[in-house]
Amino acid sequence: MAKLIAFDLDGTLIDSRLDLAGAVNYMRCSMGLEPLETERVVHFVGNGAAALVRRAIADAEIDFDEALHRMRAFYFDHITDTTVLYPGVAAGLKQLRDAGNTLAVVTNKPGKETEKILSQLGVREFFSDVIGGDSDFPLKPEPDALLYLKQKYNVSDSQCWMIGDHYTDLESGRRAGFRRIFLACGFGNTGEEAPDYTAESFSDVSLILSGF
């Protein structure tokens, strides 16, 4: 039976750690602050660009709007300098799409950046919908974007899936009535959420979904 499968982006489809950290540290250095360690920046990811920047400048009194502008401008110009798909993503997406499933991206990253990444990494064609954090829907963990997709494609709860590496993905999936797969190879965490399944790699996602 055809499924509706929604994917998070950062930490799920792509490893974007170095480019995100580079953009944050460019912003900090350009505003007279010391750079942060990459893993500390990665720890700030998951709730959208604004939250990332707020966390990254919490130790300083600088203009937030200017900091956000500098970070996003630099990031857009260097968005796939080092960012890559996780192993198995391209083949896995093709397999899932060719099996008749509807694939979507639901991310807290702004839509323009998301579209550019997916296009430059050669996987945009696999997704019927790409919903970014600056869409008309509230950010995850709110379930609105997932509920919209479920209604749009008229898919039953049992065939709706949310795949992600962070508690925001898992919570939004739970609240929308989706089954949830936690991707443990990403850089988020489950928080207080209990996923239905855990995948150690993207290849495991296809194996899990093939059983339903």
For residue 173, what are the CA distances in angstroms to 99, 129, 138, 170? 22, 16, 14, 5
Give the separation between CA 154 and CA 167, rounded to whole angstroms. Answer: 26
Tokens of 178: 């989706």
Rounded to 10 deg, the angle between the 89-98 and 202-209 helix axes is 20
**Parallel, antiparallel, or unpaired for β 14-15 and 84-85?**
antiparallel
Alpha-carbon distance of 96 to 2, in angstroms, equals: 10
H or E segment and range at residue 70: helix 64-77
Q: Would you mind telling me the total number of residues written for the chain in this entry?
A: 212
User: Catalytic: which of 8, 10, 15, 144?
Assistant: 8
State yes or no: is 165 an active-site residue. Answer: no
Active site residues: 8
